[in-house]
Amino acid sequence: MGYYYRIMIAGKELHYLFHYLETSRYFQNSIEEAPKDNAICVKENDFNLWEEKWKYNACAPTEMAILPFRTSDYLLKDHRCVYHAVAFLYKNKAYLITAQSGTGKSTQLRNWMKLYGDETKIINGDKPIIEKTDENKIFVHPSPWKGKEGWGDDTLPPAPLGGIVFLSQAKENRIERMSNLQAAIPLLSRFLFTVESEENIRQACAIESCMLESVPVFHLHNIGDLASTQMIHDALTEVE
């Protein structure tokens, strides 16, 4: 038993099978009665592993948390993937700030909106979708996975990627540009997909390679204050 929906995500109509009806409420503009063949869904083993790890019964939020990985498994063949970062639009370019959960992505986005909010729109607060075009350019799309704050605007069109910032906590602020070698593993670790398919890995690596060749990547050691956010701004705008 399940619930079938058609949903537009990253410019594509995707077909989903939800195990919980409540899951559909997380998605805007969802349409019932999607085709039942080849629907994206969370597998039974996904739920079992989740329950074993977190020690509580699976529910609609569980399904929503696992769906980015299964969605990427489907999207990777079209050179798209869900990515763990906050994404915002500033002066017609998209920027990604990424780090492990709890390291300060939301703090930096709040700071950015305080300093530069008049010129900024939030694309997605947790898991945007990135796309490699046939012209080897990277674009950033909104997605339904907006994080606990619910930040994001599904009406925004895809925007060209302008830069990426990795965060780490420190006792003082310092920013440095990362070489491709330094950035490769951290960048790949933020892609959300399963490793059940070798082709998934190849496609993700192709997107990552394009990102490394296209935009600067910075590492910000920070204390989370406004001065650290200004460092991000200055670093990103100096390379434009």
Percent of the chain with pLDDT strictly greater than 70: 100
> What's the pTM?
0.95
Segment 49-71 mean pLDDT = 95
- What SS3 state is found at 33? coil
More confident residue, 35 or 107: 107
Residue range(s) in the chain whose domain bears CATH number 3.90.228.20: 80-238
Q: How many helices (H) and strands (E) does the chain have?
A: 6, 13
Average pLDDT over residues 209-219: 97
CATH class of 80-238: alpha beta
Please check the confidence at residue 240 and state whether its pLDDT lies above 70: no
pLDDT of 29 higher than 90: no
Summarize pLDDT for 41-52 with one digit per residue, the tens: 999 999 999 999
Q: For residues 104 and 61, which has the higher predicted lDDT (pLDDT)?
A: 61
pLDDT of residue 165: 98
Give DSSP secondary structure letters for 135-149: TS-EEEE--S--TTT
Band of pLDDT at residue 36, cut at 50, 70 and 90: confident
Name the pLDDT band for 28 (thresholds 50, 70, 90): confident
196 CB-contact burial (10 Å; exposed 0-12 / middle 13-18 / buried 19+): exposed
Q: What is the DSSP string of 64-86?
A: HHHHHHHHHHHHGGGTEEEE-SE
Q: What is the pLDDT of residue 100?
A: 80
Is 103 a residue whose pLDDT tops 80?
no
* Tens of pLDDT, residues 112-158: 999 999 999 999 999 999 999 999 999 999 999 999 999 999 999 99
Burial class (CB in 10 A: 0-12, 13-18, 19+), 86: buried
Instruction: Measure the CA–CA gap between 87 and 140, rounded to whole angstroms.
Output: 8
Q: What is the pLDDT of residue 160?
A: 98
Tell me what pLDDT residue 136 has.
Answer: 96
